[in-house]
Structure 1
Amino acid sequence: MTDTQKTDTVPSTAGTTSAKPVATLAMVTLDAPNAAELGEFYSSVLGWPIAYSDENYAMLSGPSHALGIGTTPDFQRPSWPDDGHKQFHLDLAADDVQAAADRCVELGATRADPQPGDTWIVLIDPAGHPFCITDAKNWG
């Protein structure tokens, strides 16, 4: 089979195949108190252009996915540490983890306290969402 040929099955995490996916991930959307401001933050962090932004919604265009941000008037920041109750977080890969974390802090992120590991750095975005800076070499 060549790289351009398609298959109706995909590998599962168990090493076997499963049926063709029902859908593909197109975008992750974050809630925030101010969509435009958080859109600017993530545009600077990821280097992705802002495809759309107003007071209610922002969307960044990534190379294969998009990041959406919606203004939620009653937004409540996630807590940290959260004792394993957070709903999700973003893992961002960087060649220099420390330099990337430092730049994110310059852009408005804060370092989470405590730090739960030593191979990544947990940061909190301006809206309160935790995210990690990880070593790009670990992602293959």
Structure 2
Amino acid sequence: MSDLASEAPAPAAPSVPSAPAAPSAPSPQTAGSAPDPQDDSGFARLAMVTIDCADPVALAAFYGELLGWETRHVDERFAILDNPEGGSPLGFGRVSGYRPEPWTEPDGSKHFHLDFYVDDLEESTAKALALGATEPGYQHGRTLRVLIDPAGHPFGLAPLEQAIGQ
């Protein structure tokens, strides 16, 4: 979590669809027994993914253009993009002393990455590069194209037909 939570009031909570109804009676468990693997009801739902960065205004603008999402909130410390399909929004929070994740080598580490389906991999790569992404020298060698966003986070572009063919 970024240091924003302690510095500023939280932005307005996103509208989250209501949770599915809970089962009428929980499945019985004896002390020390493992949870039922068939029980996938969970108890939490994703409200938002927040990406730490040095400049939330610039990073929100980058992803807003990349995804075609509208900005709900933006200030120098935090920005939110709404998902037009009704899913979780993306947040961007300023972190003092932010440093990009190392990923330029095959064994480089990363904290997270986002993957996106695209209609045309070459055209979408060119558009992302024009928006300010960079392409590292190392690629996995698969159909996924890894790019680096302006804050240094890796993200992937993959052809949509790859998902349809699965």
Q: TM bucket by the smaller chain?
A: 0.7 to 0.9
| 1:95-106 equivalent positions in 2, closer than 5 A | 95-106=119-130
Cα pair distance change 1:132/1:19, threshold 3 Å:
closer
Query: Structure 1: which 5+ residue stretches go unaligned?
Result: 1-5, 10-15
Distance 2:156 2:65 in 1: 16
Match of 2:133 among 78, 84, 109: 109
Residue 46 of structure 1 deviates from its aligned partner by 0.4
| 1:1-140 equivalent positions in 2, closer than 5 A | 17-62=38-83, 63=85, 64-81=87-104, 83=107, 85-140=109-164
Q: Is the 8 Å Cα contact of residues 103 and 109 (structure 2) preserved in structure 1? A: no
Q: Is the 8 Å Cα contact of residues 30 and 69 (structure 1) preserved in structure 2? A: yes
Residue 114 of structure 1 deviates from its aligned partner by 0.8
Q: Is the 8 Å Cα contact of residues 8 and 19 (structure 1) preserved in structure 2? A: no
Cα pair distance change 1:25/1:84, threshold 3 Å:
farther
Larger strand proportion of the pair: 1
SS at match of 1:111: coil
Residue 65 of structure 1 deviates from its aligned partner by 1.3
Residue 7 of structure 1 deviates from its aligned partner by 6.9
Q: Is the 8 Å Cα contact of residues 80 and 113 (structure 1) preserved in structure 2? A: no
Which entry has the higher C-alpha Rg, 1 or 2?
2
Distance 1:67 1:78 in 2: 19
- Normalised to the residue count of structure 1, the TM-score between the two structures is 0.84
Root-mean-square deviation over aligned CA pairs: 1.7
Report the counterpart of residue 13 of structure 1 in structure 2: none
Distance 1:116 1:39 in 2: 27
**Which amino acid is the alignment partner of residue 30 of structure 1?**
I
- Normalised to the residue count of structure 2, the TM-score between the two structures is 0.72
SS at match of 1:114: coil
Q: Is the 8 Å Cα contact of residues 147 and 154 (structure 2) preserved in structure 1? A: yes
- Segments of 4+ in structure 1 off by > 6 A? none
Residue 101 of structure 1 deviates from its aligned partner by 1.0
Distance 1:103 1:126 in 2: 14
Distance 1:112 1:24 in 2: 34
Residue 8 of structure 1 deviates from its aligned partner by 5.3
Report the counterpart of residue 15 of structure 2 in structure 1: none
